[in-house]
Structure 1
Amino acid sequence: MRDRGLDVLLVTDPANIYYLSGYDAYSFYVPQILAVTHDRDQPVWIGREQDLTCARETTWLDREHVLLYSDDYVDSELHPMEFVVDRLDEWELADGTIGVELDADYYTARAHQAFTAALPTGAAVEDATKLVNYCRMVKSEAEIEYHQRAAAISERAMEVGIETIGPGVRKCDAAAAVHEALYSGADGTGGDYPAIVPLMPAGEGTGSPHLTWTDEEYEAGEPVILELAGVVNRYHSPLTRTMFLGEPPAEAERAAAVIIDGLEAALDAVEPGVTAESVERAWREEIAGTTVEKESRIGYSTGIGYPPSWVEGSVSIRPGDETELRPNMVFHMIPGVWFDDYGIEISESFRVTEDGAEVLADVPRELIVKE
C-alpha cells in the first residue's frame, strides 16, 4: 500500500478477505468489504448485520474491527458502499487515496457507482485489483500442507470418477459420486465445496472446456473429461484427466501423447528464478511440429478459491508473463486442447521447490481407456 501510495485498501474479493482476516462464510452474494489502513493493527470487516456471528466464528478480528450495516441496505435503493464512505469519513480517510479491487467478481458496477458518488471531491480512487493476489503467491508451510491434503482428496475423487463413469451410467449420477468423494475427503481430512463444480463434458462436448453434466447416459466409444479440485481450508488442488469409453481414435492417442510430453517438458523447466513464460516456452518447443496447438495459457497460480473460480488471479504460464518463480508458489498446469470432435485435458497441480516442480497428486498421467 505504501509503494502504491494508498491510504486505505478496500478488499472485496472473498479469497482476499479470507486471506487477510479468516472470514469464511457463504455470504459474498451481498457486499462485504475488508478495509485495511496504516494506523490499525487489524483490518476492519464490514458486512451485513446478520453475518456478525459468521465473523465471530471465523475471523481473528476483535469485535471493534467488525462493523455491520443494517438490512435496509440489502436489495434496496441504499447501498453498503455508502455505509463504507461514512466510515472512511469518520476515520478522516474519505478524501485520501483509496485502493479498490475494480475487477473483483463481487464488486459490481453499481457498487462502484454508489461508492464514488458518495466520496468527497478530494478523494482519489486507484485500481488495486491484484495487490493482495500477488501477496498471496508464495505460500507458507501451513498453506502448502493444505494444498497437499487437498491433492489427496483430488486423487480419491478422480479414482471414484474413473470407477463410476461408464456406458449406461447417468452423467448426473457420476457427478453425484464425484461430489460425495470431494466432500467426504481422504486420509481423515474432510473436503470443502470447490470454487468451480466438477467439469464433466462427454462426447463432442469435450471439445468445449467448461461444460458440466446432464442426466443423459454415457455412451460406449465416447470421450469424457473430468476436471475437479479437492479443497481444504479453501485451498484448492485442481486435477484433470481424460478417458475414452472404448478404444480411442489413433489421432486422439497421438494427441494425448504429445500433450503429456509437453506437460512433462514444462514441469521439468520449473525451478526458482525462471520466468512463467520460459516454462510455457518449454511446452511450446516440445509440441512444435505436431498436430497439437494451443494459444491460450497452459497454467495459472492457484490457492484460496471461492465461487466462481479457484484461479488465484496473479501469475499465468504464458508468453509475456515475466514473473520469476519462487519456492512455495503453487500452480495448476492444464494444457487442455480442444478439437472439433473431442478434447483432451491432462493436468497437474504443482508446487515450486528449490529442486523443481513437486506434483501434488499421484494419478497416472495417461489417456485412460475403459473397455
Structure 2
Amino acid sequence: MKEAVETVNKLPFTLEEYENRLNAVRENMARQSIDILLVNDPVELNYILGYRSFGYDALPWQCLIITHTGNPIVITRKLQSAAYKNQTCVKEILFYGDNDDPLKLTTDTLRKLGTSQKIVAIPFNTKYITPYHMSCLEKELYDVANIVDGTNVISECRLIKSKQEIKYIEEAAHMTNVVMSNVTKKLQKLPSEKEIATVVIHDLLKMGSEHPGGLNPLIGIGERSAYGHPTFEDHRAKPQDVIFLEFSGCVNRYFSPVMRTLSAGEPTDLAKRLEEGSKYAVNKVIENTYPGMTAEQVAEVCNKALAEAGVIEYSHVRTGYSVGIGFTSWRDGISIKEGEKTVLKENMVFHILPYLTDFKTGVAVSEMIVVEANGARKITDIPQEILVIE
C-alpha cells in the first residue's frame, strides 16, 4: 500500500541538510554509474531520512530505494510506517502487512521504476541483507544490466560531518566526559561490572543521553579487560584489578565514545606501563594529524609512538576508526590502519584508541578528535590516567 506523507518538523537537521545529503549520494551514484540504490542499514536510513527506530531488528525486510530523480521510496513493515511518517522526511512509503511478501513488494516497485538494463547497487557488506534476500532479488531482477556493490555509496558521504553533526558529537562528548570523570567517585572499592554499568547508564541518562544502543557500555574486570568487547556481568573486582571501561553519550543517535582504565586500588606496574604507552601514543596522534594525510599515515604515527614508548609488542588492533551515527555500533565507515588509503579531510571525526594488552590485562587511553584546517582537535576531555577507585 502506498501512502503520501506530509513533512513534519521533528527532525534533528534542517530539510535543506537532508536534501544536500541526498544530492551528494546521487552524485556518488552518478560517479559509479549506478542507476538505482537500495539502502537497508538503519544508520544510512537515519542519515538520509532521519530514521531513528530500533524496529529494524524486528523486521523481515525494509529498504529505501533511491534513483536519480523523484522521491526516494521507503518499503517497510506497516507497524513501522508511523515512525517514518512522524520522524523522517520521507515523502513516499510503501508498507506491507505481516502476511505479505516484502521482497515481492520491493521487486514489483523496482520494475515500476524501470530496471531493464539498469545498474542496481545493493550493499553486499551488511548484516541487513541476507543470502536469502540476495537470492530473491537476483532471481527477480533478471532484466538488469548488473547488480553491483553499493556498500560504500552513502558511507563515503557520511565521513565529512556538517557543523550540526559535529555539534551533536560534541554534546555527546560532554556527557561522556562528565560521567567518566566522576565514575570512580560513585563506586565502592571492589565493584562488580554490573554495579559500574548501573552508575554509567544512570548518569548518562540523567544528563539527557538517548538510549545508548549496541555495545554501550563495555566493561571488563581483571583478565576480562583483555577479552575485547566484554559484556558486563557479575564479575567483581579484586585488589589491583584493572577495569576496562568504554562508553558514550548519545545525542540524536550521534556518539562520542572513550576508553579509560580503572583500577581497584593501586594499579600494577604493568598497568601503569601500558597506560603511559597508550597515553603517549594517543597524544602523538593528536599532535601529528592533519588534513591531507591518509588514514594509513596516521596509523604509522601511532605505531612509531608505541615503539618509542617500548610497548609496540602489546598492540594488536587498529589505531582507530571514524565515528558518527549509531544504533548497534558507533563506528562510521573507515579504520585507521595499515593499507587504508582514505585521505583525511576537514570535519572528519575519529576515535583514536591505542589499546594495549598481553591478553591478561587490557589498558587504553582513547580520545575523540575532529580534523580541522590546521590539525586535529580533541573533543573528549577526561584525565589521561588510570582512574583509581579508592
Pairwise mapping of residues 1-371 of structure 1 onto structure 2 (< 5 A)?
A: 1-29=29-57, 30=59, 31-40=61-70, 42-62=71-91, 65-73=92-100, 78=101, 80-93=102-115, 95-185=117-207, 189-288=208-307, 290-293=310-313, 294-307=315-328, 309-313=329-333, 315-371=334-390
Equivalent residues of 1:334, 1:345 under 8 A apart:
yes
SS in 2 for 1:28: helix
RMSD: 1.7
For 2:93 and 2:107, how far apart are their aligned partners in 1?
16
Equivalent residues of 1:165, 1:171 under 8 A apart:
no
Equivalent residues of 2:34, 2:119 under 8 A apart:
yes
Tell me the TM-score normalised to structure 2 length.
0.88
Equivalent residues of 1:166, 1:218 under 8 A apart:
no
Which protein has the bigger helix share? 2
The amino acid of 2:108's aligned partner reads D
For 1:148 and 1:247, how far apart are their aligned partners in 2?
32
1:332-363 CA distances to partner (integer Å, 9 max, x unpaired)?
11111121321102111111111211111210
For 2:324 and 2:180, how far apart are their aligned partners in 1?
19
Equivalent residues of 2:258, 2:367 under 8 A apart:
yes
For 1:26 and 1:255, how far apart are their aligned partners in 2?
38
For 2:90 and 2:157, how far apart are their aligned partners in 1?
20
SS in 2 for 1:201: strand
Q: In percent, how many aligned pairs have the same letter?
A: 30
SS in 2 for 1:214: coil
- Counterpart residue number, 2:19: none
Deviation of residue 59 (structure 1)? 0.8
Equivalent residues of 1:255, 1:292 under 8 A apart:
no
Q: Which runs of 4+ in 1 moved over 6 A?
A: none
Equivalent residues of 1:166, 1:245 under 8 A apart:
no
1:80-111 CA distances to partner (integer Å, 9 max, x unpaired)?
22221110011112652110111122212221
The amino acid of 2:65's aligned partner reads A
| Comparing 146-155 and 189-198, the one that deviates more | 189-198
Tell me the TM-score normalised to structure 1 length.
0.92
Equivalent residues of 2:353, 2:365 under 8 A apart:
yes
SS in 2 for 1:67: strand
Equivalent residues of 1:138, 1:327 under 8 A apart:
yes
For 2:202 and 2:130, how far apart are their aligned partners in 1?
33
Aligned residue pairs: how many? Answer: 358
The amino acid of 1:69's aligned partner reads Y
Equivalent residues of 1:267, 1:279 under 8 A apart:
no
SS in 2 for 1:316: strand
- In structure 1, the gaps of 5 or more residues are none
Equivalent residues of 1:169, 1:218 under 8 A apart:
yes
- In structure 2, the gaps of 5 or more residues are 1-28
For 1:268 and 1:210, how far apart are their aligned partners in 2?
28
For 2:316 and 2:360, how far apart are their aligned partners in 1?
19
| Comparing 324-333 and 101-110, the one that deviates more | 101-110
Equivalent residues of 1:301, 1:332 under 8 A apart:
yes
The amino acid of 1:38's aligned partner reads H
Deviation of residue 160 (structure 1)? 4.4
Equivalent residues of 2:45, 2:64 under 8 A apart:
yes
SS in 2 for 1:71: coil
